[in-house]
């Protein structure tokens, strides 16, 4: 199962897991990005992410800039609803929250 981050605020992507590293990209809110793992360097936590064409970038791990997505499967015929809560004031459309199986 792939691991995704959902961007909540504009966030800078660094070339290396160092604050002084060059910024290679900025991600916008509502983007879904694949991530590989967490790293810790110089008392700073980083998320290693995949960019286009097998490039790797690093995000500073900050709880209010992205949300770590988790997979949930519902295989119950009588289930009729669910609750959810947004972490930001921006309310995205349902098509950005839910995806058909195999489309991510």
**What 3-state class would DSSP assign to 74?**
coil
48 lies in some domain: yes
Q: How far apart are the first and last CA of the chain?
A: 10
Q: Look at the chain and count its residues.
A: 104
So what's the pLDDT on residue 17?
87
E-strand ranges in 32-93 read: 32-41, 44-50, 56-60, 66-68
pLDDT at 41 over 80: yes
Could you list the residue range(s) of the whole structural domain that residue 14 is in?
4-71+85-95
Query: Average per-residue pLDDT in the chain?
Result: 79
41 lies in some domain: yes
CB atoms within 10 A of CB 25: 15
Lowest-confidence pick of 7-11, 57-61, 67-71 = 67-71
53 lies in some domain: yes
The residue-averaged pLDDT of 3-22 equals 88
18 lies in some domain: yes
10 lies in some domain: yes
Number of structural domains (the chain) is 1
Report pTM: 0.65
Q: What is the 3-state secondary structure (H, E, C) of 2-25?
A: CCEEEECCCEEEECCCCCCCCEEE
């Amino acid at each position: 199962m792939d691991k995704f981050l959902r961007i909540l605020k504009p966030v800078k992507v660094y070339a290396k897991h160092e604050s002084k590293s060059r910024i290679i990209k900025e991600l916008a809110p509502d983007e879904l990005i694949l991530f590989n793992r967490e790293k810790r360097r110089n008392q700073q936590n980083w998320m290693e992410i995949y960019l286009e064409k097998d490039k790797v970038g690093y995000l500073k791990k900050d709880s209010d800039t992205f949300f770590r997505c988790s997979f949930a499967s519902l295989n119950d015929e009588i289930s009729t609803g669910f609750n959810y809560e947004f972490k930001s004031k921006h309310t995205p459309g349902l098509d950005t929250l839910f995806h058909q199986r195999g489309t991510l």
